Amino acid sequence: MVHIKNYINGELLEPASKKYLDNFDPSRGKVYSYIPDSDEQDVEKAVAAAKAAFPAWSITPKDQRSKYLLKIASLIGKNLDRLAQAESIDNGKPLKLAKTVDIPRAAANFHFYGTGILHYAAHAHSMEDTAINYTLRQPVGVAGCISPWNLPLYLFTWKIAPALAAGCTVVAKPSEVTPMTAYLLSELCIEAGLPAGVLNIVHGLGGKVGNAIVSHKEVPLISFTGGTKTGAHIASIAAPMFKKMSLELGGKNPNIIFADCDYDKMLATTLHSSFSNQGQICLCGSRIFVEKHLYDKFKKDFVEQTKKMVVGAPMDEKTRVGAVVSKPHMEKVLSYIELAQKEGGKILCGGKQVNVGGEFSEGYYIEPTIIEGLPHDCRTNQEEIFGPVVTIMPFEKEEEVLMWANSTVYGLASTVWTENLTRAHRVAQNIHAGIVWINCWLLRDLRTPFGGVKSSGVGREGGFEAIEFFTEPKNVCIKLK
Ligand code: NAD
């Protein structure tokens, strides 16, 4: 079985402790590789390497930094099949999804920032004939990048690529639940000839490795994606140290369906926005509000289509819903289904663990689940479940549905279905969320600001927002007379 290694100062290294953690294949419920159980000593080494590499990397001309990023993008593309397979085994997601979404997007992240940095320009402010101000944007230093398990390589590279493009060096930690593609990425960075210490990847537990990165005094900037509770913990350490922080956290996204929508488009997309990646995308619409006179028709069709979704082994072409990521996560999702019933919810379909049989009989599979009959303010409708579970609710008035949609502590993404242009703009304006999709879902332009409001996070990723996050502005004022 593979023993994953840390990537520090350009080398693949064992953890200082020489200890390893089990890495599970969720589709089989079995250990299939080992993860370094790293600690502060490994983080110390990684930060020292990143610090030593910073002066040279930060003044490496943009077009040369760009070449490294583009080379990595191309290597990810060349290794698409191998990486997709690894992602699918590590995470439980359908291979098809890894092949068409996760890995192409990881390559796109490097490509986007490898070219984007060439076009970034800072500002100048003229004071007519008195003075001129120009703003230098200088890379902050060693960036700490911490990512979750749901879109492992996709979200890992979404942080690393802009950090490297901006001239920061990086100490990164992927989720201990899905470390494999980050390990394969370190091999590709070596192949690309990325200078030693520019990117360092330390594997291990959040409480040890993550904590050591966040609290390290030589890491002035933290880019974190993960749960809201972890984000609050990180902020409690990083804020008193006055670190720059970008926190991309949990969500409980509303999907608002008006009766005048393009019905077929809405139904097909709602199946995706509910159950893609087993509902484990922070942007999935888990609370579905449907205008009252469309409710019965929608309910019938949505349940019928959902029942047709094949739950099965990730490698199987027919599979639409693979395994959820881990046993504890499966148990958490099932406990929410139980809670929903206690709160008075009625299960319209799904609701149970599935045994898909054969070598996959120990895997962590859950039927796509639809629940109705719950009020907007019960726990099931307020807390993030992060699994293949949605609730459906009828509404009568726009004001009422906006109040329900905005009633959680979260504010990440939202979806609105209507053919009424005026209403679409009005609702978009009044939703408390960082992202509003009208008549679509997960349509991503990497230039747009990405992030949430309220407990869904602080700061924005994407486009030049990320370049600005990884750089510090310095104003230079020159008197002209
Ligand atoms: P998590 O918070 O448990 O872990 C995320 C990362 O933080 C992991 O690498 C983990 O090891 C690390 N970590 C844990 N404790 C830490 C600590 N004390 N100090 C530093 N690092 C620590 O989240 P998860 O379960 O991996 O991911 C699921 C969550 O991520 C969901 O809430 C989901 O909504 C959220 N998410 C948000 C976005 C977004 O863009 N807003 C995207 C994907 C996932």
pLDDT score for 131? 98
Ligand 1 atom closest to the Cα of residue 450 is: 40
**pLDDT digit string, tens, across residues 15-50:** 999 999 999 999 999 999 999 999 999 999 999 999
Dist. CA 244 → ligand 1 center (Å)? 18
Ranges of H-type helices in 79-171: 80-91, 95-97, 103-119, 152-166
Ligand 1 atom closest to the Cα of residue 234 is: 19
Supply the residue whose CA is at minimum distance from atom 43 of ligand 1: 282
Supply the residue whose CA is at minimum distance from atom 12 of ligand 1: 206
Dist. CA 247 → ligand 1 center (Å)? 10
Asked if 285 and 378 count as a contact pair (C-beta separation under 8 A), the reply is no
Supply the residue whose CA is at minimum distance from atom 36 of ligand 1: 226
* Per-position pLDDT tens, the chain of length 481: 999 999 999 999 999 999 999 999 999 999 999 999 999 999 999 999 999 999 999 999 999 999 999 999 999 999 999 999 999 999 999 999 999 999 999 999 999 999 999 999 999 999 999 999 999 999 999 999 999 999 999 999 999 999 999 999 999 999 999 999 999 999 999 999 999 999 999 999 999 999 999 999 999 999 999 999 999 999 999 999 999 999 999 999 999 999 999 999 999 999 999 999 999 999 999 999 999 999 999 999 999 999 999 999 999 999 999 999 999 999 999 999 999 999 999 999 999 999 999 999 999 999 999 999 999 999 999 999 999 999 999 999 999 999 999 999 999 999 999 999 999 999 999 999 999 999 999 999 999 999 999 999 999 999 999 999 999 999 999 999 9
Ligand 1 atom closest to the Cα of residue 461 is: 40
Closest CA to 162 of 101, 223, 216: 223
Helix, strand, coil percent values for the chain (each to nearest 5): 45, 25, 35
Dist. CA 476 → ligand 1 center (Å)? 38
Dist. CA 373 → ligand 1 center (Å)? 31
pTM: 0.98
Dist. CA 420 → ligand 1 center (Å)? 37
Supply the residue whose CA is at minimum distance from atom 26 of ligand 1: 148
User: What is the CB < 6 Å shell around ligand 1?
Assistant: 146-150, 155, 173, 175-176, 206-207, 210-211, 214, 225-227, 230, 233-234, 248-251, 282, 384, 386, 412, 452, 457
Supply the residue whose CA is at minimum distance from atom 42 of ligand 1: 282
Q: Which amino acid, 12?
A: L
Three-class secondary structure of residue 87 per DSSP: helix
Dist. CA 227 → ligand 1 center (Å)? 4
Closest CA to 209 of 461, 52, 21: 21
pLDDT score for 389? 98
pLDDT score for 89? 98
Separation between Cα atoms, residue 198 and residue 53, nearest integer Å:
6
Q: Who's near 155: CB < 8 A, 6+ residues apart?
A: 147, 148, 225
pLDDT score for 188? 98
Two tokens at 256? Answer: 């608002």
Dist. CA 147 → ligand 1 center (Å)? 6
Is 40 marked active-site? Answer: no
Asked if 454 and 149 count as a contact pair (C-beta separation under 8 A), the reply is no
Ligand 1 atom closest to the Cα of residue 211 is: 19
The count of C-alpha atoms lying within 13 angstroms of the C-alpha of 351, restricted to the half-sphere facing its C-beta, is 14
**337 burial via Cβ count (<10 Å: 0-12, 13-18, 19+):** buried
Q: In CATH terms, is domain 2-249+454-479 a member of 3.40.605.10?
A: yes
pLDDT score for 428? 98
- Domain range annotation of the chain: 2-249+454-479, 253-438
Catalytic residue, chosen from 145, 168, 176, 248, is 248
Integer-rounded Cα Rg, in Å, for the chain is 23
Two tokens at 436? Answer: 């509003």
User: What are the φ/ψ torsions at residue 383 (nearest 5 degrees)?
Assistant: -105, 150
Q: Select from 101, 153, 175 the residue to mutate for testing ligand 1; criterion: most ligand atoms less than 8 Å from CB.
A: 175
Supply the residue whose CA is at minimum distance from atom 34 of ligand 1: 250
Is 338 marked active-site? Answer: no
Pick the CATH number of 253-438 from 3.90.1300.10, 3.40.50.1390, 3.40.309.10, 3.40.50.300: 3.40.309.10
Catalytic residue, chosen from 145, 261, 282, 284, is 282
Q: Select from 230, 384, 408 the residue to mutate for testing ligand 1; criterion: most ligand atoms less than 8 Å from CB.
A: 230
Q: Which amino acid, 102?
A: D
Q: Who's near 466: CB < 8 A, 6+ residues apart?
A: 113, 162, 166, 460
Asked if 102 and 87 count as a contact pair (C-beta separation under 8 A), the reply is yes
Asked if 106 and 151 count as a contact pair (C-beta separation under 8 A), the reply is no
Ligand 1 atom closest to the Cα of residue 148 is: 26
**113 burial via Cβ count (<10 Å: 0-12, 13-18, 19+):** buried
